[in-house]
Amino acid sequence: MTAKPLLNDCFLHDKDRLKHAEALAILKDRLAPVALSQTIPLGEALGRILAQDITAPRNIPLADNSAVDGYAFRFADHDEAGGFFRLRQRVAAGHASNEMLAPWGAARIFTGAVMPPGADTVAMQEDCETHRQDGEDFVIVPQGLKKGANCRKAGEDVAEGTKILTSGHRLKPQDLAAIASTGLAKITVYRKLKVALVSTGDELRRPGDLITIGDVYDSNHYLLKSLTAGLPVEIEDLGILKDDAGLVERTLAEASKTFDIILTTGGASRGEEDHMQTALEKLGQRHMWQLAIKPGRPMMFGQIGNCVFLGLPGNPVAAMVCFLLYGRPVLSVLGGGGFVEPQRFQAPADFEVPKKKPDRREFYRGILGIDENGKTIARKFDRDGSGLITGLREADGLIEIPEDATSVKRGELVTFLPFSGMGVV
């Protein structure tokens, strides 16, 4: 599989600020996988994105087998009063019997063992009574059993030829179990995307460094590295870039030759010291900038050659909101997966917003609660500053208020996007 480059002109638009839905529509329509594929052992595939379809090569399970420890028999020999069967066989898991079960014969059978030929029903051992008479062993099977009781049929889980998983699916633990049940030891997945993580700003310092008035610690680096930890990417830290136009341009130019994606925070606004957007325009193409959302308006999307550029705002709240809404689905698609949408549900608002600016979609930090009737309600973090990490820490997710809303009344239904549904655990 070869990488598919992005198209240079397909994102262009003529609006100063794109609405949220418009931005998503552009990304969905124009993005394509750029990751190549590789074959890896199944045990290393958790969290990776499939690059092949998985089809059952045979029935799963392969043969009829017992779901319990008990006694297998022919239901035709059973009547309403129960049954008195001669014990003819003993069948353990992994030791199939080729001996046809005779009429009024029973087999001692254990969980997972293949049903002996002729048997179609199993009685649980705790419901049966064994008996020895005239040198023979018998079992008394209780009444009330249905034909096929406690018997798992061949193909009951998956029938031969059934497509189990499709290319583009991100593998969960239960998916690995399903693949293992087909007998595959190796599978083809997309390679991890190579992502360069860049912070910008003269004021930034890394934890452990001394700071003075005017300096701040680079929290966004740790925020974004953690948010990408669950995705099939390889992160390389390019450090903190000073507000130097030449340095920014040289760093982006060099990184674009090596990485699939450059992920930056800061420097995306219109200020004289915001050099990211200028450097991007010199080196490549800026496809998207200035969104009609709050927080996160100055998010920037573009490319340098075949390297994707994703420029997030510098404020931590805006950076996280933009990454979850746009960055995460972008990384998923480029890495071979689907466009991952946030989970959403409706909840009554336990807050009021008397006045909201129209034509802008807003995302409040939301906290779930329970009212006096035991119903789920949505509360809003009481401060809106996009630099307040406390709100992110206390929130359970985002409250999404659409463009046409001009206020929020207490009790009206609002849309809640849980962090857990956007990969934040």
Structure-block tokens of residue 418: 């849980």
Amino acid at 377: I
Say if domain 65-152 classifies as CATH 2.170.190.11: yes
Which residues 6+ apart lie within 8 Å of 107 measured at CB?
71, 72, 73, 87, 88, 89, 90, 91, 97, 101, 116, 119
Strands 397-401 and 361-370: antiparallel
Question: Residue 215 gets which letter from DSSP?
Answer: -
| Cα distance between residue 217 and residue 6, in whole Å | 35
Nearest to 265 by CA among 254, 276, 251: 276
pLDDT score of 6: 55
| Cα distance between residue 308 and residue 301, in whole Å | 8
Helices (H), 49-189: 173-180
Judged on CB neighbours under 10 Å (0-12, 13-18, 19+), 194 is: middle
Nearest to 41 by CA among 228, 171, 235: 171
Q: Describe the chain by its helix, strand, coil percentages, rounded to 5.
A: 20, 35, 45
| Cα distance between residue 190 and residue 170, in whole Å | 10
CATH 2.40.340.10 domain range(s) in the chain: 345-422
How far is CA 96 from each of CA 53, 85, 91, 130, rounded to the nearest angstrom? 32, 21, 7, 23
pLDDT score of 7: 47
Fold of 345-422: Beta-clip (2.40.340)
> Considering the entire predicted model, what is its pTM?
0.87
Is the Cβ–Cβ distance between 33 and 50 less than 8 Å? Answer: no
Angle at the Cα of 274 from the Cα atoms of 269 and 279, rounded to 5 degrees: 105
What phi and psi, each to the nearest 5 degrees, are found at residue 212?
Answer: -125, 180
Is the Cβ–Cβ distance between 255 and 236 less than 8 Å? Answer: no
As its CATH architecture, domain 20-36+192-334 has 3-Layer(aba) Sandwich (3.40)
The residues of the chain scoring below 70 in pLDDT are 1-16, 80-82, 267-274
CATH 2.170.190.11 domain range(s) in the chain: 65-152
pLDDT score of 4: 44
CATH 3.40.980.10 domain range(s) in the chain: 20-36+192-334
- What is the CB neighbour count within 10 angstroms for residue 117? 12
What is the sign of the dihedral through the CA atoms of 382, 387, 388 and 389? positive
Amino acid at 36: L
* Domain range 38-59+163-190, its CATH number among 3.40.50.2000, 3.40.50.2300, 3.40.50.11810, 3.90.105.10: 3.90.105.10
Is the Cβ–Cβ distance between 259 and 196 less than 8 Å? Answer: yes
